[in-house]
Structure 1
């Protein structure tokens, strides 16, 4: 704890981002995927038999999901780590959670924090309980969109009281089952609306047929992840990727299997470490990078290669090497929007202009990420302008200053990347990285020390 205080400096709210003395050279073991962990928890909770999650992520978002499921009567037992300390470290890579499924119970209260997966994946499950289940969260969570999902649930037979706000706080009044069937939903503001309906659909009386009727659907890899995990749990799913109708997903009612699943490393959380190689001209290896995955973070291999790096994927994992020069990029990030803050940080240090497109939906994430990136990079001397659906970033000489994070973990890690080569960058509330990556400051210092950082 003393070392952590020292790392934070005199003002614990401001973290002095460490400056790299040269090219980084490290192996960094990142924790499990938040997206996989929280989907696996939902599927295990609805299964017919107990299941295991091995190497799960223990972060604020996943612990909120686990606690919410416990409040609904689902048993979750942890092994190989204390349940009282959020370290994010699956000790010796042996931590596991045993999930004992059951019929969701009510009354219950769900605290969502600012976790989109919790606030969106759990209302369909709560509709299967008998009685009221209330949902609330952080102030920012009350501003994040839910109307499309809530309207869809109502059309499937759920009773939900949100006083017409279309956001938190709300109460789901379950009657023990949900009719299901065909439903239209505008998921242009969040693909999580579709994933939320699909994950619980095997327990609906008629399953579900979800038809997206809005504008461009963002973050399609996350829907593919949901579909793949449903199929692995024994669900029958028809989807556009398997030859089905465009923008339509169908799930047949039926029992889910209790599984023993090993959670993949979170590839999006590997982003700042890969970015470090680009901006310092170094090398980083991420062990256990999967050869085949639905995680959006896998797109970093191509994106960061276009920006000047080189990567090798072998039995050691993914090794990424920077050339010492960063190229600008023109990229449609609509399917991988969560990567935008880290890409923007690298682009701010590039030799040429970058245009990041297809990410208008980021205005409704943990914060308005487009406005925040523009404001904070420009405060360090950058030249970033918002476009209708993204950012235009022109290279400028940056200087030190405070980088505000707005309680957004990806803004905090993006600031750390800038601080590698820009002297005197101070990151406000680096602790917000605990949302998905506890222990990030220690990992970051470990990478710079080249000591084989592990999380």
Structure 2
């Protein structure tokens, strides 16, 4: 699908969608819990549907209502056929770990795009723990075996989801599980989110202050009524929309959230946008934007959002800690550099830094590379400068099914299938 965006002033009030990360994490915890748990206010998107379908394939019952999913967990059976994880990295990685305790053989199949993303460190860690896990063609295969646990080391600078995957298993290890990260973790807030979600289901993992060592406490999962808070990653587009073109009010956010992408309000403020918070309402309004220098190590998903804001700021912005952005749904560094280049914005790429010389971008046809965050970010720049077409615009359904309708409700001049 191709979407055209003409120059628009975006203003209005929006309720932010629920957190994708918390929805998927709470689903995994509920599946590991004997009895019935409730996921209140879950995000409904391609990725969360993928997680739910994967769990249903191995015996977990999920009754889905509009704003509540009832999950009956604790009883797994061998899957009949492959488990398709779509394009959801969290589903593939978390289910790889959970497959260690599922009877029979599990064969987890990723989409072609997901198959290109790293998973080897997780497989190596499971092999160290005597789990037969391997790649067959592009699928991940896990054979039934007793999960004893033990000691395992893994790198912390590729994906926080690898350690999160093992954390779900900590209470289930026969002899306990000790996890050591050989490098400081990147996207550490996502590990804290996993620990927080586990705690809601009765599991209190012992973690070092640096989040480089974890050990189990042998507690059992307990049923919970888990309420999913708003998604700060998604909120970044809605807030940037106001900062770039008008004035937006975003509700449904937890100002005390441990989500790393909550720093978007600080970044936009430093760039000169007018940002204010009152209770659960965040307001962002347009003003003269300034360049910025920022380390995005712990909030790498904000790179596309903050990059398009920087394109409008007259001067040079530098973003550090961006290396891992190359291993997301697309190579986001390449996607941003190519997209902004088409819009006549100079971008310089280094191994772990992106430099953007902002000023006066112009409209262009942008390849989303099938990446929801690239599509949503460049739509905002399109609204600011006009005459912009987003190719592969349907990819937003991965996390924000109604994104284009929301943009229109804010006053965006959007035309689909151009």
- Relative to the length of structure 2, the TM-score reads 0.95
**Superposition deviation, residue 53 in structure 1:** 0.6
> 1:58-137 residue pairs with structure 2 within 5 A?
58-80=44-66, 95-108=67-80, 109-137=82-110
SS at match of 2:304: helix
Match of 2:405 among 442, 448, 455: 442
Match of 2:238 among 273, 279, 301: 273
- Cα distance in structure 1, aligned partners of 2:347 and 2:412: 32
SS at match of 2:147: coil
- Cα distance in structure 1, aligned partners of 2:156 and 2:91: 17
Equivalent position of 1:159 in the other structure: 132
SS at match of 2:232: coil
**Superposition deviation, residue 449 in structure 1:** 6.8
> 1:48-447 residue pairs with structure 2 within 5 A?
48-80=34-66, 95-108=67-80, 109-163=82-136, 168-175=138-145, 177-214=146-183, 216-241=184-209, 247-280=212-245, 282-323=246-287, 325-447=288-410
Asked if the contact 1:330–1:354 (Cα under 8 Å) also holds between the matched residues in 2, the reply is yes
- Cα distance in structure 2, aligned partners of 1:187 and 1:114: 22
**Superposition deviation, residue 246 in structure 1:** 5.3
Asked if the contact 2:155–2:181 (Cα under 8 Å) also holds between the matched residues in 1, the reply is yes
**Superposition deviation, residue 322 in structure 1:** 2.6
**Superposition deviation, residue 195 in structure 1:** 0.6
Asked if the contact 1:148–1:187 (Cα under 8 Å) also holds between the matched residues in 2, the reply is no
- Cα distance in structure 1, aligned partners of 2:2 and 2:379: 12
Asked if the contact 1:224–1:294 (Cα under 8 Å) also holds between the matched residues in 2, the reply is yes
**Superposition deviation, residue 240 in structure 1:** 2.6
**Superposition deviation, residue 417 in structure 1:** 1.0
Number of aligned residues: 412
**Superposition deviation, residue 181 in structure 1:** 2.0
**Superposition deviation, residue 48 in structure 1:** 2.5
Asked if the contact 1:46–1:203 (Cα under 8 Å) also holds between the matched residues in 2, the reply is no
**Superposition deviation, residue 208 in structure 1:** 1.9
1:33-55 per-residue CA deviation (whole Å, 9 max, x = no partner) reads 00000000000000122100111
- Cα distance in structure 2, aligned partners of 1:233 and 1:153: 24
Asked if the contact 1:47–1:257 (Cα under 8 Å) also holds between the matched residues in 2, the reply is yes
CA RMSD of superposed structures (Å): 1.6
- Cα distance in structure 1, aligned partners of 2:69 and 2:211: 36
- Cα distance in structure 2, aligned partners of 1:378 and 1:370: 12
1:365-400 per-residue CA deviation (whole Å, 9 max, x = no partner) reads 111110111011101111011111131000242222
SS at match of 2:35: coil
Q: Unaligned regions of 5+ residues in structure 2, if any?
A: 414-418
- Relative to the length of structure 1, the TM-score reads 0.87
Equivalent position of 1:17 in the other structure: 5
